[in-house]
Structure formats: C-alpha cells, structure tokens
Chains A and B, each alone.
Chain A
Amino acid sequence: MSPIAPIAFSRTAAPRVPLLALDTVWFQVAGTLCNLTCHHCFVSCSPTNHAHEIMDRREVRRYLDEAASLGANDTYFTGGEPFLNREILEILEDALRFGPTTVLTNATLITPSRAGALSAMERSSRYSLEIRVSLDGLTPETNDPIRGEGCFDATMAGVRELANVGLSPILTVAQTWGDDEDRSLREGFHEFLRSNGLDHPRVKILPLFRIGREASRTRGYAAEEFLTEEHMRGHDPWTLQCSTSRMVTSRGVYVCPILIDSPDALMGKTLAETLRPFPLSHGACHTCWATGASCRN
C-alpha cells in the first residue's frame, strides 16, 4: 500500500495494478474550467473551478516529447472544456504529429472556423483525430436538466458544424438510465446522429462515477464498493486503463482521468516518475473493475 494513500480508504489492503505499458497519455488541457456545470460531472468542472489550470502549448509539448521518448501510442485531451484553451488547435496539431489524438468536448464552442481547422488538420495527418461530443439526451427536455439550459441546442449546432466539414464525432453519453432501457436507447442514439447528418454514427456510453457533483446528485460509493485482492484474482489487468495510461494536468501526472481530485492519485511531476503500480483504493476503481469501462474510445 502506498504511504500516501488516505487513511479512510486503507481499511483493507488495496490491490495494486502494475503499469504494464505507457500506451496512452491524457491531458487535462483546460484544467477544471468549463462553460457548463453538469450535475453528473465527476470532477465538478465549472466556469469558476481552478483546481487544475489551463495548460499552455509549451507545457503540453514537453509532455508529448516525453510520451514519445517512452514509446507511447496516443493522446487524449479533456477538461473542463478543451475549447476554452485558446491554444487548443495548435496543441492538437502538435499531438497529431506524434500519434492518434482524441479531444473530448461539449461542442458548444465549435464555430465554423474551428470545425474547418479541425478538418484540415485531420486530413493532413496520417493519424486519426477523434472528436468526442458529450450529450445526455436526445431532446432539450432530457438533456438540459443534466447539462444546463440551452445546452442541447448549442451542442447540436456544434455537431452539425463538424458534420458539415466531414468530421464524424463520437457521441459520448454517461449512462444515467437503467440497464433495461439500454438497447433501445443505444439504437436511438445512432438513428439520432444519422438524422443530424452523420453517415457513420458512433456512440460511446460511459458509466457514472459516484464522485464530484454526481455524489450529491445520486449517491457516493458505498462501503462495499472498494476493491480487495480477491476482486483482482483472475481479473485481466489490461482491461483497467490505469495499467496502460496516465493523466497530465497543470499539477502533475495523475493515475487516471477520473481521480484528479484525489491528492493520492498524483503520482509525479514527469511521466517517467509514474511508471509504477498504483493501489486501487478508490470507489471509482470499483466502477472500472465492475463495468470494464475505459475512458478510451
């Protein structure tokens, strides 16, 4: 058990997941700043949350160089809302020179000129640029209570800008519904995207993490929702994203994109310092283990 793990979670020895390979590097490129204040946000991002600051291009480039020297494969850019970062287009260009790149956005700030720039950089790169757009319902009535008034229309305007320039975003939805409705909702999302001009609709469904604002929207983790060595017996560590990725923010390198509000998840200042096992001591670790979820595409 790591000596910096909080006492509250150390009631039983947490299993440790090895870093099998550093394949993926995430960037909290807009810090915790967001133009929206979604009720289920697991890092409580908002227009006023400065827990993690916006990263500048030079800082990102330093980590991209380090990632390349360590043989990493791909990068992901998130926030907060990445398009609040004024250098985001240049940063994505830098990343695409290195490898496959994904940006996670609410699409409300995708203007025609930004869509055009994204399309141009995608076409000139040998690697895929993936644009993940978050939405939680197919109508303002279902989406906006979670993500905010007017958000549905603003997001769909951004999606149409992307479709206009030939980009096909992946719709990312946090699962706020029950498993019984799952199949029909998934098909509904595909049909919805097609009707909005996307010929190759793609949908990614993420589980809810019961931390940040989500903990007060529904509930936090229960005492039994923590992992022990028993859970990891026979469990393939490759399926846990912390075995192959790390998350960079203005504060340093964290184990994963979910736990950046947990001080004990800060593993070092450089990627090289974080190439070691991590104790799965958080409730969120239980969600990844139980659902097989990965923040990757």
Chain B
Amino acid sequence: MAGAAPIPIGATGPASYRRKPGLVAWLVLAPLLIWLVLFIVIPTAMLVMVSFAERDSLGRVVYNFTFDNYLRAFDWVWLKVLIDSVWYAFLTTVICMAVGFPVAYFIGRAPVQWRGILLMLVMVPFWTSFLIRTYAWITILSRDGIVNGLLVASGIFAEPVTLLYTPFAIVLGLVYNFLPFMILPIYTSVERLDGAMIEAAYDLGAGPTRAFAQVIIPLTSPGITAGALLVFIPSIAMFAITTLMGGGANPTIGEVIFKQFTSGRNQPFGAALGTLLLVIFVVALWLTRRQREQD
C-alpha cells in the first residue's frame, strides 16, 4: 500500500504554482521522510544488494557480486509461477471490480445517514484476523463442509464436489479478502460524483447505458484505478491465502519467494525474485500514472 503514496505528490500537475518550501514545511514533512527512508528506501536497497550476493551452506549471505540469481530467475519454471500469479491477481481484480462497483455505487448514492452503517458492514469482517477468516473458508468449502452439505442435501449434486484446494478456492479467497480495497476507493469517487452531471446526460438524450459508460465511469475512474491497484498488487504477492486455500499444489510467486528465505536457504535468489516483482509493480504504477496524466 505504501507504494501508492507517492502518486498524489507527483500528480499535482503543471497547474499548481511552485515556490521553495520553508523550514517549517521541511519540519512538517520530516516524520514522513524519515519513515519513507527507514521503512521503504533502506529495505529496498538492502533487497537489491542481497539479490546480487551469494550465500554459504547455512544460508548466510556472502557479499560476492554475481548475476547468477537473475540468470536463474529467468528460468521457465519461475516465469510460469509468475504468469499464474499474475493471472490469479488479474481475475481477482476483475471480479472485485464487477462486484465492488455496484456495491460502492449503492453505498455512495444511499442517504447520508445510511452510508456510515453500510460502510461499517463492509468492514465488519476485518475485525477478525484474515488468517482466522481463511481457516473458516476451509471449513465451509471442505468435502464435509456446509456448501457441499447443502448441494448434496438439495439434490443438486449426488456426490460432494471438490471446492477446496483448487484455483477456484484461491481466487475466491483473494476476492473475499481484497474486495473492501476495491469498494472503498470507488465509494469515495461515487460520493463526490455530481448528480447534476447524470441528469444533464439524460436531458441531452443519453440512455442509461450511455450515461453509465460516458459519464459515470469516467468520473469515477480515479477510484476504479486506485481500487484496481490496491487489489492487483497485493494479490500477486499474497502467499498465506493461496497456500491455505490452494493447498500448495499451485504455488504462487509470493509462496516461492517465501520458501527461498526459509527452507530453500537461498535469500539472494529470493531477493532477486522480489526485486523483479518490484520492477513489475513500479512499471505498472508508472504506466497508470502516465495514463492519468494523458487524460
């Protein structure tokens, strides 16, 4: 999430007038700058540094410069894992958008006194740890679980079906966990949406479809873009949900990196994979930002 922070700073655009910040401004900024340096700049620099290092037999990092980790990273095995992870994250983002937009629109257009309560309902599941909620899904989806019980009892299926430990379960787990990250940014956009604009569209002869596609979507696009990034990026690297609900038979890139730092005893290789992932994120952010500036 921290990766999204720089956007508003850079997005002020040419219209904003410039002047030299004074001492007070620097003092106000100082905590943020220190935080950025300590928890983002330094760790990232260390990650990149380790990615060019070697390791000894116990897994300790030895600082001899090498490109081997990157040469290994471009093996088909890891690329396939990465493509799978990107595909799961893409599916998750699309489904979250399809489900999240109507929900966010409904909440944003609801009477003011209802909005707080509706938003609270979106957030209620977050009051318990996501690990506990993921374990709950395991119970719900298992062969002897509630869903299978209902399906068999109602006669839809004769035999229980396999739901858990499949790609379906992985995407379900990701969607369930990241949906609020989509709803909240879209909600803020919808809340600011001027109703007069939509009325104007209707007055000028637009049908509901056209009003939606040419007025509502463009006006809420900042929220949609922010939501997509907030869902897509953590989904790629998430390993706890994919391991628990996917059963580990469809490893994701986050899981592979995690393994390199533990049982693989190969921190430099894990760091190289992590750095590559970081490069992908930076490129994705840069592309969306450029897109926004063009608009």
Same complex origin of A and B:
no
Question: Chain B interface (Cβ within 8 Å of chain A)?
Answer: none
Name A's B-contacting residues (CB within 8 A). none
